[in-house]
Amino acid sequence: MKWQEVRELYPNKFVKIEVIKSHIVDEKEYVDEVAVIKAIEDSKEAMKEFIKCKNKEIIYSTKNKEFIIDVVKHIGIRRGI
């Protein structure tokens, strides 16, 4: 499902989605297609669902016109011996 379709079906809500298709340009991931897992009514419930997210699952507000994710490289933690 396209992001615009999700916005029309669930206006002004949070949704738990799985990213199906996306592309990366200049360290930003542009989400092209998603699968809606669940519509969420309020921010408290959204935070609880956020903690449970796995793999490509994301909580996102349908107030956002575009679905763009900043790509951050994971450097990891080093410790001295």
Whether 16 is in a domain gets the answer: yes
Whether 79 is in a domain gets the answer: no
**Upper half-sphere CA count for residue 77 (Cβ side, 13 Å):** 1
Whether 8 is in a domain gets the answer: yes
Whether 81 is in a domain gets the answer: no
User: How far apart, in whole angstroms, are the C-alpha atoms of residue 52 and residue 81?
Assistant: 34
Q: How many CB atoms lie within 10 A of CB 2?
A: 13
Query: pLDDT (tens digit, 9 = 90+) per residue, 29-39?
Result: 999 999 999 99
Give 12's DSSP letter: T
Reported confidence tier of residue 78, pLDDT bands at 50, 70, 90:
low
User: How far apart, in whole angstroms, are the C-alpha atoms of residue 35 and residue 78?
Assistant: 37
| Global confidence as pTM | 0.78
Specify the number of domains making up the chain.
Answer: 1
Whether 39 is in a domain gets the answer: yes
User: How far apart, in whole angstroms, are the C-alpha atoms of residue 70 and residue 30?
Assistant: 9
What is the arithmetic mean of pLDDT over 67-75? 82
What length is written for the chain?
81
